[in-house]
Structure 1
Amino acid sequence: MPTTATETISQDTASGSGITIRDPRTGDILWTVPEAGPGAVDHAVEVARSATAEWAATAPAERGAALRSAARALDAAAQELAGLNASETGRPMEEALAGIAAGVSTLEQYAELGPVHRGHSLRGNRLASDYTVAESRGVAVLLTPWNDPVAVACGLIGAALVTGNTVIHKPSERCPRLGEALGEVLAPAFPPGVFLTVNGGAEVGALLSQADVDVLAHVGSSASGARIARAGALTGAHVIRENGGNDPLLVDSDVDPAWAASQAAIGAFSNSGQICTAVERIYVHKAIAEEFCAALQAEAAQRNSNGSVAPLVDLRMRDEVHAQVADALEQGARAVEGGTLPDGPGSLYPATVLLDCTDGMQVMTEETFGPVAPVQVVDTFDDGLRLACSGRYGLAATVLSGNIAHIQQAVAALPVGTVKVNEVFGGAPGGAAQPRGDSGHGFGYGPELLDEFSQVKVVHIAAPPATTPRKDQP
């Protein structure tokens, strides 16, 4: 049976069970969403494959117009989707709305960039033409996260669709109702089979990763990303990964300690620390360490007292965060704010500041997806930079300094995809990110993402040889 543009492929539940979501604030069950089984996954791939030729042949301007229509629909549904985000993940309503606004802007950006995505002319024989043509890859599977579910998904969806790929989107199992609703909002802007949504957890993600598709794009944990990369190596799918990070913040001796602490707090506590590019470990110069740590403690205490720290997405995440904090405390760290499990229902975890941290603690070596700011005091800027350059991740890093020599030294040395100087979050529109190490592979944002979803064909056209006219020709 043909799949309509608005169908969410979540039938054919393998076990009869579904995905049960609890309210992060109260712990109460909100709803259970059906999970796709193997048959539904196979059906989605078949339907998406059948729509590839016609969608790839659609004029880029028409694809861009469809994306603009999807952006308008998303904007109109902002309140409903933000409400679902707040319910399923605990994201404050204002922040959830901001994420949807970012998703709208991203769809509009790719609607403009897609039609002007171009190949290159090549220098060859002057009587020949040599150039490259960007073509769609085919069926793209997009596996997106829960921590900024609409904004992140729209980036991948927009770039994939405007370059002529068909899309199978699997939202995170931590926000399945939101993912389902997002599909219902966006899909009508496109022809049948071009944009499909499949709900499910790790098993469904594995089935999609092993399927006969052309692109696997994943934003999420490094462990999941590694499994997806291995699957892509076996199937031949092009893999794009933006995975976890252990982003350092390096605080130099010449900056204002209170300002530096405010930047650290923004980086560590925004969205309750549930951001891939959150500040995960802090190296502060001993010359300002005492004032910096006192100011950071005050920042955390204020957030805890005024209730601005939202709950973590679920109890499983809170348990993982607290286990890392407990490990640090057992190894000699001091929690000068937070660091304990609060009483009451839900999955709240307080903004936490850990002092006297050392290299071997998990909070300094692993991603801690919660509002935790671990601090290590260093004797020199060079010592801090050496520690900031350590580890298996390579997503982003931040440097707070007024010393241009130190800034240039850090930019050159840090083995990450993004270096931010004197601002933990920010950047120009259209900025791209290319993570390294266990943080992923390939461009995840910006105009370069169009290249990730395209394959290049080189064309050479030579003039035919001159021919002698036949006798019967004038």
Structure 2
Amino acid sequence: MSDISEAGVVDAVGKDLFIGGKWTAATGGKSFPVHDPSTGKVLCEVADATPEDGKAALDAAVAAQADFAAMAPRERGEILRRSYELLIARADELALLMTLEMGKPLAEAKGEITYAAEFFRWFGEEAVRIDGGYAVAPNGSGRFLVHRQPVGPTLLITPWNFPMAMGTRKLGPAIAAGCTSVIKPAAQTPLSMLALAGILVEAGLPAGVVNVVTTSNSGGLMEPLIRDGRARKLSFTGSTAVGRKLLEQCADKVLRTSMELGGNAPFLVFDDADLDAAIEGAMQAKMRNIGEACTAANRFYVQRGIVEEFSRRLTERMSALPMGRGTEEGVVVGPLIDEAAVEKVSSLVADAADRGAQVLTGGSAVDGPGNFYQATVLTDVPKDAKLATEEIFGPVAPISVFDTEDEAVAAANDTEYGLVSYLFTNDVKRALRVSERLEAGMIGLNQGIVSNPAAPFGGIKQSGLGREGGTVGIDEFLETKYIAVSL
């Protein structure tokens, strides 16, 4: 990585809006800064789209929809395949760009590029597998034809914590299905999406199929597009609070929606678990992306017989993690995304400590520059602590004890969220029994990572609607049309 300059990867990315296949300045020439969370310094300025710019992007998507829907599925798949190859070829540069704007360590950023690319490879293969049907009517007098076609222009909103993968996870199935889109990345991390736009053009994506609008005013830009009525689907990844507002807006025009919202993942460790595997899984589930993930383990429940040993070993691992700027070799704990994130984590830990939780390691923010917070382990966390119900989004592992299986399941399900749950046990019967009882869309059984482009990703309860990835991911971008044929 030493031969790749930080300034070089930032300078190589377009800073304007990408509308109708062209780089376009925002109305009035407005822009906003993108900061390096490890230093607080401004990396660059990018275009700040207005509602008028948003309308122009939707105009371009609508204009391109009919021709793109008619494109051969194989051709759409080949565009995604070429995009996959370009992402892999440029993984080092793209990883550095991501680390600069988001903060995650370089090794993890490169892992995300690989993960992001896989969505393009997977959905490139799914493009030619869109199925239909032909059946005889029950009375024999006619035939049923079932045809699946693109839902139409889509609105896509991605978060800052996985700035490339959340884009490809939405764009992959949209392109494969034949849908055009307007995509709005988070204001904190727009550069990865702008770089992806350039890659899609290079791979041969027609003008207007993907339009990227960056803005400092997400609501002001997106609400008029939702209420416009010409877009037929919204896909959003972000907080449950924002998701609720978007659902209300979508109801006005009855837009199809898929939502990947907040999480409050429980991590259950039974006393018959492989403790080595449980500790390794805990580190993955907690510290992936510095804890800034909806899938991050938020609450650790450990059976009484092993809680002391588990807490000791987890504390040893967490306290030994190197902290620093993500571009530095060996760093595992990078900065949180901004000052507000540090303040939230600090508040949650202080509240737990005030209520009786014990801090085994960490427990405080690090003086600047940068938005750093120590890797932290808490034990004896009371049920009324705020971090027992709120998403932490930081490197904090709160541990509570349980005695019985019923107690563990009840504690795990005692949340409005239901994205993912983690379970460690070597008892096969218990593994199946508890997995079925846990109220979550995904279960990590004896492993700390569940995300895979070939598997359906999504939650239940207030963690979202619909699924992304897997064989069902493309369904979110397709309508089913039934044609009755009389013989």
> So what's the TM-score if we normalise by structure 1?
0.92
Q: Give me the whole-angstrom Cα distance separating, in 1, the residues matched to 2:343 and 2:406.
A: 35
3-state DSSP of counterpart to 1:346: coil
3-state DSSP of counterpart to 2:397: strand
Residues 241 and 444 in structure 1, CA contact (< 8 A), matched pair in contact too: no
* Corresponding letter in the other structure for 1:206: E
Shift of 1:429: 5.4
Aligned equivalent of 1:321, options 336, 345, 355: 345
Matched, 1:253 2:268: no
Aligned length: 459
**CA distance 1:239–1:8, shift in 2 (3 Å):** farther
**CA distance 1:454–1:377, shift in 2 (3 Å):** same
* Corresponding letter in the other structure for 1:209: I
**Per-residue CA distance 1:80-132 (angstroms, 9 max, x = gap):** 32222111001222221221122222111111111111023345244632131
Aligned equivalent of 1:209, options 217, 226, 237: 226
Aligned equivalent of 1:196, options 206, 211, 217: 211
Residues 417 and 461 in structure 2, CA contact (< 8 A), matched pair in contact too: yes
Shift of 1:43: 0.7
**Per-residue CA distance 1:409-445 (angstroms, 9 max, x = gap):** 2122111101121001146651102311111101122
**CA distance 1:240–1:427, shift in 2 (3 Å):** closer
Matched, 1:77 2:90: yes
Deviates more, 1:103-112 or 1:64-73: 64-73
Matched, 1:244 2:268: no
**CA distance 1:310–1:400, shift in 2 (3 Å):** same
**Per-residue CA distance 1:133-192 (angstroms, 9 max, x = gap):** 111111111111121111221121010011111011111111122222221221342111
**Percentage identity across aligned positions?**
31
**CA distance 1:323–1:18, shift in 2 (3 Å):** farther
Aligned equivalent of 2:371, options 347, 362, 378: 347
Q: Give me the whole-angstrom Cα distance separating, in 2, the residues matched to 1:390 and 1:452.
A: 29
3-state DSSP of counterpart to 2:348: helix
Aligned twin of 2:4: none
Matched, 1:160 2:174: yes
Aligned twin of 1:387: 411
Q: Give me the whole-angstrom Cα distance separating, in 1, the residues matched to 2:225 and 2:313.
A: 47
Residues 52 and 194 in structure 1, CA contact (< 8 A), matched pair in contact too: yes
Aligned equivalent of 2:239, options 211, 221, 232: 221
Residues 307 and 401 in structure 2, CA contact (< 8 A), matched pair in contact too: yes
Q: Give me the whole-angstrom Cα distance separating, in 2, the residues matched to 1:428 and 1:145.
A: 18
Residues 222 and 244 in structure 1, CA contact (< 8 A), matched pair in contact too: yes
Q: Give me the whole-angstrom Cα distance separating, in 2, the residues matched to 1:279 and 1:413.
A: 18
Q: Give me the whole-angstrom Cα distance separating, in 2, the residues matched to 1:368 and 1:104.
A: 28
3-state DSSP of counterpart to 2:426: coil
Aligned equivalent of 2:51, options 15, 38, 41: 38
* Corresponding letter in the other structure for 2:352: A
Residues 399 and 420 in structure 1, CA contact (< 8 A), matched pair in contact too: yes
Shift of 1:337: 0.7
Q: Tell me how large the CA RMSD over aligned residues is.
A: 1.9
Shift of 1:258: 4.3
Q: Give me the whole-angstrom Cα distance separating, in 2, the residues matched to 1:7 and 1:77.
A: 22
* Corresponding letter in the other structure for 1:35: D
Deviates more, 1:281-290 or 1:429-438: 429-438
**CA distance 1:137–1:150, shift in 2 (3 Å):** same
Aligned twin of 2:147: 133
**Per-residue CA distance 1:238-267 (angstroms, 9 max, x = gap):** 111011100000110112434422321221
Shift of 1:210: 3.2
**CA distance 1:351–1:118, shift in 2 (3 Å):** same
**Per-residue CA distance 1:39-77 (angstroms, 9 max, x = gap):** 101111111101111111112112112222322333343
Residues 187 and 196 in structure 1, CA contact (< 8 A), matched pair in contact too: no
Aligned twin of 1:19: 32
**CA distance 1:28–1:392, shift in 2 (3 Å):** same
Q: Give me the whole-angstrom Cα distance separating, in 2, the residues matched to 1:123 and 1:338.
A: 67
Residues 249 and 283 in structure 1, CA contact (< 8 A), matched pair in contact too: yes
Aligned equivalent of 2:114, options 101, 116, 119: 101
Q: Give me the whole-angstrom Cα distance separating, in 1, the residues matched to 2:146 and 2:87.
A: 35
* Corresponding letter in the other structure for 1:210: R
Kindly name which structure, 1 or 2, has the bigger radius of gyration based on alpha carbons. 1
Aligned twin of 1:460: 484
* Corresponding letter in the other structure for 1:147: N
**CA distance 1:208–1:327, shift in 2 (3 Å):** farther
Structure 1: gaps of 5 or more residues: 464-474
**CA distance 1:190–1:304, shift in 2 (3 Å):** closer
Q: Give me the whole-angstrom Cα distance separating, in 2, the residues matched to 1:340 and 1:4.
A: 44
Q: Give me the whole-angstrom Cα distance separating, in 1, the residues matched to 2:297 and 2:136.
A: 46
* Corresponding letter in the other structure for 1:392: E
Q: Give me the whole-angstrom Cα distance separating, in 2, the residues matched to 1:192 and 1:308.
A: 40
Aligned equivalent of 1:298, options 312, 316, 326: 316
Residues 166 and 194 in structure 1, CA contact (< 8 A), matched pair in contact too: yes
Aligned equivalent of 1:278, options 296, 308, 324: 296
Q: Give me the whole-angstrom Cα distance separating, in 2, the residues matched to 1:129 and 1:372.
A: 59
Q: Give me the whole-angstrom Cα distance separating, in 1, the residues matched to 2:25 and 2:394.
A: 31
3-state DSSP of counterpart to 1:244: coil
**CA distance 1:66–1:260, shift in 2 (3 Å):** closer
Q: Give me the whole-angstrom Cα distance separating, in 1, the residues matched to 2:88 and 2:421.
A: 32
Aligned equivalent of 1:358, options 379, 382, 391: 382
Aligned equivalent of 1:173, options 181, 187, 208: 187
Aligned twin of 2:198: 184
**CA distance 1:321–1:206, shift in 2 (3 Å):** farther
Residues 251 and 399 in structure 1, CA contact (< 8 A), matched pair in contact too: yes
Matched, 1:262 2:286: no
**CA distance 1:9–1:332, shift in 2 (3 Å):** farther
